[in-house]
């Protein structure tokens, strides 16, 4: 019989990540500690240190996991469309949909928690990959003369800021919109964004 001192979980790291996500969902990031995560996972208080040096390392792992899935969302949306303008619209919708589907990951990825880029270079690389998807779409749109000229990174940042703001407003229920009314709002907002960069 396994006990906290003789832990035989098939995937300790996964169990710790799941426990951290559950705690953040039920409370918030400030309530998180490795000891609490260990208790939630049913392991000894020293078990988390096999994978995470401290709370910051655990949160960095949660954020990295989120950005990997986030990038997949954006890539799938981009690949489903054939023109840069349509790709811009689709990835914007995918951005907000990801935030609404995975609000806890999103909170860690973009909330008040901020990992040290030097301490967690893989997280930085993973996060930058998702932003680069948008930069590349805009660069492709400019090359195809579908989008306005300008520095692609700055235009991407402006568009990123719009969809991020919309996602946060919806997550915080600041717009009083929910249910079936959410998707038309997202689509209409992204349509305006698309018109703003189109030639």
Q: Give the per-residue pLDDT at 10.
A: 67
Whether the full predicted model's pTM is greater than 0.75, yes or no, is yes
Q: What is the pLDDT of residues 102-124, one digit of tens each?
A: 999 999 999 877 777 788 999 99
- Tens-place pLDDT, residues 9-19: 568 999 999 99
In the chain, ranges of CATH 1.10.10 domains: 8-52
Question: Domain 55-197 has what CATH class?
Answer: mainly alpha
In the chain, residues under CATH classification 1.10.357.10 are: 55-197
3-state secondary structure of 198: strand
**What would the two tokens of residue 80 be?**
């489903």
Give the Cα separation of 159 and 131 in Å (integer): 11
What is the fold, at CATH topology level, of the domain defined by 8-52?
A: Arc Repressor Mutant, subunit A (1.10.10)
Query: What average pLDDT does this structure show over 151-175?
Result: 94
DSSP category for residue 27: S
């Amino acid at each position: 019989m396994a006990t906290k001192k003789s832990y035989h979980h098939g995937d300790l790291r996964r169990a710790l990540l799941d426990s951290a996500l559950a705690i953040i969902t039920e409370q918030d990031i400030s309530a998180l500690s490795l000891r609490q995560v260990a208790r939630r996972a049913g392991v000894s208080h020293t078990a988390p240190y096999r994978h995470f040096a401290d709370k910051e390392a655990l949160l960095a792992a949660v954020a990295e996991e989120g950005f990997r899935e986030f990038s997949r969302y954006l890539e799938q949306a981009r690949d489903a469309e054939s023109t840069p303008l349509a790709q811009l619209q689709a990835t914007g919708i995918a951005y907000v949909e990801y935030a609404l589907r995975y609000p806890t990951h999103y909170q860690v990825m973009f909330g008040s928690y901020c990992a040290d880029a030097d301490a967690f270079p893989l997280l930085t690389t993973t996060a930058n990959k998702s932003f680069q998807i948008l930069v590349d779409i805009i660069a492709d749109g400019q090359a195809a003369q579908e989008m306005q000229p300008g520095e692609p990174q700055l235009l991407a940042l402006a568009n990123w800021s719009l969809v991020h703001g919309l996602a946060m407003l919806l997550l915080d229920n600041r717009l009083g919109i929910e249910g079936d009314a959410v998707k038309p709002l997202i689509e209409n907002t992204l349509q305006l964004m698309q018109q703003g960069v189109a030639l």
